[in-house]
Amino acid sequence: MCCGLFSLCFLVCLTAGPIQSRPTTVSRWEAGTSRVKITPTKHLWMSGYASRTHPAEGTLIDLWAKALVLQDPSGRQAVLVTMDLVGIPRGLSRAVCHELQAKYGFPREAIILGVSHTHTGPVVGSNLQPMYFLNEQQQRDVDAYARHLQENLVKLVGQARQNLRPAELAWGNGKGTFAVNRRNNREADVPRLRELGRLNGPVDHDVPVLSVRDMEGHLRAVVFAYACHGTVLDFYQWSGDYPGYAQLAIEKTDPGVTALFLAGCGGDQNPLPRRSVALAEHYGRELAHGVVEVLSAPMSPIGDKLAMTYTEIPLPFAALPTREQLSQQTHDKNRVVARRAQLLLTQIQKDGILSPTYPYPVQAWQLGSGPTLVALGGEVVVDYSLRFKRELGRDRTWVAAYTNDVMAYIPSRRVLHEGGYEGGGAMLYYGLPSPWGDKVEERIVAAVHKCVRQVREAAGVSNPTRSSTP
């Protein structure tokens, strides 16, 4: 896969010394970063695939949690935390945010918790709970890891706050081309279709980049994103997959740089071909190369005001199963079906009913006169990022997924009606009672438009939008 010319060009980029392309104006921001290794010290059960048959066997590359705290000239602070994990559950996310508010004063809207969605990370708390059949000791180990992760994330943010220093912020957009719409292209056919230029289905190949430099112009942190699953690797070694390799490559540009990866709306996107370490490294280098190209060119400076908002909307399910139906499903030959039914019956016993809705998180940050960062929960399909950039401005809208709560796939109306794994089948593995209702896209789009309008107005940024009618 690796082209000699590509490798040579990339090596030149990385060895030419620290990147010092300064923004054209000086801001009065402050920024601080910190990191902590979150590679399990025990061979825990791995997340991502229902076909797992035993715990992890070792480490390919370490997993990391990283924090970037930003403070605008008025003293308003926000924190982005990224993790090399497949997902986090709502309970863990809420507990972390509660502690960050209690200890450091961060309001909920000022906290984004994002995961890379690597499929070679550990099971985390109740995330994808019906997928795994753990013995008592394995479950205790998983629970202990989640508790330790929560402690580490809170400490991590405190350390990043202590590291606040004057900074210059800028942003730009690059390209990455290895994501393929997995619903529209058979994996085995992808090399031939790519060569013929006949890959099908929507994709989002943008690579948004936020740079943080010190007052001398030295790069200190970079946030970047791509809309694609972290599914190159499917073995039993801890690994950040291609996002982990991309972060490592960017950080080699300078020992002081912290690279943070946000997953985009890649719920229906796979890195293809895949299933080898060489390909994971290759895609990581390709993505890093796209980031370095942006950093090496003039970037757009960011103004001096940070605006933020966060909401949870009641996202409706389709028809809910009855208690009788669930009781019957506990005897199903498919043990995942039986386990989900047992979990839902436990929920009924506790709450009296199954909730007809799920509290879905929608968040937006306006970074001065720069990008509007929209942060969505779950495994969001690519239709959403393409739509929001079309309606809210492609050159000013950055859409992240897999943030704050990874509770399920989030299909568009098109994907919901088409069905399949992303359209509803995966709800089984997430332990939710049914597919989403028909208005899933309509509800999310309305909430995003409202949040974006609010933060743009608060930051004094114009908000021309197109119709939000699905």
Q: What is the pLDDT of residues 286-308, one digit of tens each?
A: 999 999 999 999 999 998 899 99
Q: Which amino acid makes up residue 433?
A: P
Q: Average model confidence (pLDDT) for the chain?
A: 92
Comparison of pLDDT for 17 and 106, the residue scoring more = 106
The C-alpha atoms of residue 132 and residue 135 are separated, in whole angstroms, by 10
What is the pLDDT, as a whole number, of residue 192? 96
For residue 381, give the DSSP letter. -
Share of the chain above pLDDT 70, in %: 93
E strand or H helix at 413: helix 413-418
Global pTM exceeds 0.85: yes
Any idea where the domains of the chain sit in the sequence? Answer: 20-305+359-430, 321-355
What is the pLDDT, as a whole number, of residue 462? 82
Least confident stretch, 19-33, 401-415, 443-457:
19-33
pLDDT tens, residue by residue, 44-81 = 999 999 999 999 999 999 999 999 999 999 999 999 99
pLDDT tens, residue by residue, 222-281 = 999 999 999 999 999 999 999 999 999 999 988 889 999 999 999 999 999 999 999 999
The C-alpha atoms of residue 121 and residue 101 are separated, in whole angstroms, by 28
Least confident stretch, 25-34, 40-49, 149-158, 255-264:
25-34
Share of the chain above pLDDT 90, in %: 89
Whether residue 1 has pLDDT greater than 70: no
Other CB atoms closer than 10 Å to residue 53's CB: what's the count?
7
State yes or no: cis peptide before 273, omega within 30 of 0. yes
Q: Which two tokens stand for residue 82?
A: 């990224």
Under a CB-based contact definition with an 8 Å cutoff, are residues 427 and 408 in contact? yes
The C-alpha atoms of residue 161 and residue 156 are separated, in whole angstroms, by 9
